[in-house]
Amino acid sequence: MFELRKNNYASFPKDFLWGGAIAASQADGAYQADGKKLNSSDIQPYLKGKSNDEIQRLEKLGMTLEEVKKNIADTEQYFPKRFGIDFYHTYETDLELLAEMGFKTFRTSIDWARVFPNGDEKEPNEAALAHYGKMIDKMKSLGIEPIITMLHYETPIHITLEYGGWTNKAVIDMFERYGKVLLDHFGDRVKYWIVINQVNMVQIEPFLSLGVCSDQYERKEEAEYQGVYNQLVASAKIRKYAKTLPYNLQIGTMVADCTVYPYSCKPDDIILAMEHNRMQYFFTDVQFRGSIPVYAESYFAENDIHLDITDEERALLKENTMDYLGISYYFSQMVDAEKNVNKADSITPNPHLDANPWGWNVDPQGLYNSLSQYWDRYEKPIVIAENGFGMYDELVDGKVHDDYRIAYLGDHIEQVGRAIQNGADVIGYCAWGPIDIVSCSSQQMSKRYGFIYVDLDDKGNGTGKRIKKDSFDWYKQVIATNGAEI
């Protein structure tokens, strides 16, 4: 059983938003309900027998158009994200469990392929809007502040097949239409919006991020940057529209922390880390400073990357910067100039850190470093949109003793307090997957993050029963003490 300890950096403001985060693509299920059609996550099969390293390599490769079409028609393989944990039908009781822990906020996404099943329709699916309205109302009735993500790996698969995904500028207008519908319907109840989840993950999760197949373009890196540039333009359009509405809407961007440490104090390591980090700040530099930085223009020229950028779009980006920053943080990374190059996925394991079974280095101080760097660079409010510890939990006699999760989260929450004490305006903390959901990267149910165990296995077998882990009561006390005890 856990024992709370004093937080050495208990500097959280009284109105701090304690809570958690999930994604519709990993939790909702109900993939045929209320007119929904398949999205980019729905066609990822469970990769039985594959090692964690193999799964990650496949993720970086993306899918071919043939593989996408095959998976759409496949009736033999199991596609876990089509079923999730059935949150679409269980959200009321699940939210009540989160409220029992004292949640002040809850981040989830709305499935684009449910609201606009093909993505290119002119009118939205009213059944989907009615459902999400009820879900949001339930949160508000429980005193939970919604943080809603418009796109969390849910690009309608029709957009992949007919338009080639986000590399096609026509998708900008489709997404803008979708975003306007969400703001019109829910802006009176939802203050905090994240437009696109982890907008910088295009080089790690190209298919999920952009809905683009690996053989739908000739020049991979150019296509990835064009796709994400189109997402930045779409985000600015939605920010522009939000300013016309009579609500105090906060429109945010979100990145996964992919900044790195240098392997040593050798100048080559220092410079490589600096150049790597600048290209990670590219996404937020555009969205907070309002223009493509010179270092990025130089990188594009050096790598023969040519983007379709108009003067009108440059003005749009300059005039519609984001209100706040969401960060997902799980682990830190490192580069060695003798082994790595200036690419997002070119990293080296850190010998000074332990890792979980998926190779994620546990580094609480890395969160303090990340929060401090982003705050110093932009001085914009920050929400920790995701932070969590995936592990193979063991259910014994109806209980899960997850002291390893308590230790991980407690150490990271302490570093959040440290960042706040040193001036960072961190306004909320969302533990990732407060209720077990399907893993984004590996499609596993057994890679668990939650305070609440869901009785389902990797093939979807089980009762679906919700069971409180030891960490449930621990996080309840963390929230009750406003982070003074962890």
DSSP 172-194: HHHHHHHHHHHHHHHTTT--EEE
Q: What confidence score (pLDDT) does residue 1 get?
A: 65
Regarding predicted confidence, which is higher, 137 or 58?
137
Question: CA-CA distance, 90 to 116, in Å (whole number)?
Answer: 23
Q: What is the mean pLDDT of the chain?
A: 96
Give me the amino acid identity at 33.
A
Q: What average pLDDT does this structure show over 130-151?
A: 98
Q: What confidence score (pLDDT) does residue 37 get?
A: 98
Q: What confidence score (pLDDT) does residue 369 get?
A: 98
Q: What confidence score (pLDDT) does residue 411 get?
A: 98
Residue whose C-alpha is closest to residue 375's, from 416, 425, 329 = 425
Residue 267 has pLDDT above 70, yes or no: yes
Q: What confidence score (pLDDT) does residue 184 get?
A: 98
Q: What confidence score (pLDDT) does residue 448 get?
A: 97
Task: With cut-offs at 50, 70 and 90, classify the pLDDT of residue 441.
Answer: confident
For residue range 217-253, what is the model confidence (pLDDT) as tens digits?
999 999 999 999 999 999 999 999 999 999 999 999 9
CB atoms within 10 A of CB 354: 9
Per the structure block, which two tokens stand in for 246? 């009579």
Task: With cut-offs at 50, 70 and 90, classify the pLDDT of residue 357.
Answer: confident
Domains of the chain: 17-480 (3.20.20.80)
Residue 48 has pLDDT above 90, yes or no: no
Residue 57 has pLDDT above 80, yes or no: no
> Is the CB of residue 161 less than 8 Å from the CB of residue 68?
yes
Task: With cut-offs at 50, 70 and 90, classify the pLDDT of residue 2.
Answer: confident
Residue 440 has pLDDT above 80, yes or no: yes
For residue range 450-474, what is the model confidence (pLDDT) as tens digits?
999 999 999 999 999 999 999 999 9
Question: CA-CA distance, 323 to 239, in Å (whole number)?
Answer: 9
Share of the chain above pLDDT 90, in %: 93
Q: What average pLDDT does this structure show over 355-364?
A: 90
Give the residue ranges of DSSP H helices in 243-384: 267-289, 294-302, 311-319, 364-378
Q: What confidence score (pLDDT) does residue 341 get?
A: 96
For residue range 72-109, what is the model confidence (pLDDT) as tens digits?
999 999 999 999 999 999 999 999 999 999 999 999 99
| Burial category of 122 from C-beta neighbours within 10 Å (exposed 0-12, middle 13-18, buried 19 and up) | exposed
> Is the CB of residue 325 less than 8 Å from the CB of residue 380?
yes
From 165-174, 353-362, 439-448, the region with the lowest mean pLDDT: 353-362
Residue 287 has pLDDT above 70, yes or no: yes
> Is the CB of residue 348 less than 8 Å from the CB of residue 336?
yes
Q: What confidence score (pLDDT) does residue 61 get?
A: 73
